[in-house]
Amino acid sequence: MQKETITKAVSTGASLLNVGVKTIQAREAINEKIEEGKWAAKRMVRNNRRLAEDLIYDAETHIRKNPLQSVLISLSAGFVLGATLSLLFRGNKKSQ
């Protein structure tokens, strides 16, 4: 009787140890994936920042080379946006 109890206790202890080992392995795998995700996010932010800086530089260069064209494009865009917003808000007042 005691021998069976000891055998069951040892078996249960071994099972618990196995569960503990698997838990530690899972935690390590999760931590590794989190670190990979952090690194990928930092790399993405760095790349997007460089892209934005390049776009700003290109826009500034284009404006310096073509100031009149840039002003006309800006005025046209402002006019179209203003007209669109005016029509949208005027339409809402009539329906009320």
Digit-coded pLDDT (tens) for 19-29? 889 999 999 99
Q: Shortest CA distance to 74 belongs to which of 66, 47, 56, 37?
A: 66
Digit-coded pLDDT (tens) for 40-80? 999 999 999 999 999 999 999 999 999 999 999 999 999 99
SS3 content of the chain, % helix, strand, coil (to 5): 95, 0, 5
CA distances from 86 to 80, 83, 89 (A): 10, 5, 5
Residue 96 pLDDT > 60: no
Report pTM.
0.52
Residue 49's Cα: distance from chain center in Å?
A: 13
The domain ranges of the chain are 1-65, 67-96
Instruction: Output the six-digit token pair for 19.
Output: 């569960």
Q: Give the model's confidence band at 13: pLDDT under 50 very low, under 70 low, under 90 confident, else very high.
A: confident
Q: Shortest CA distance to 59 belongs to which of 44, 49, 48, 51?
A: 51
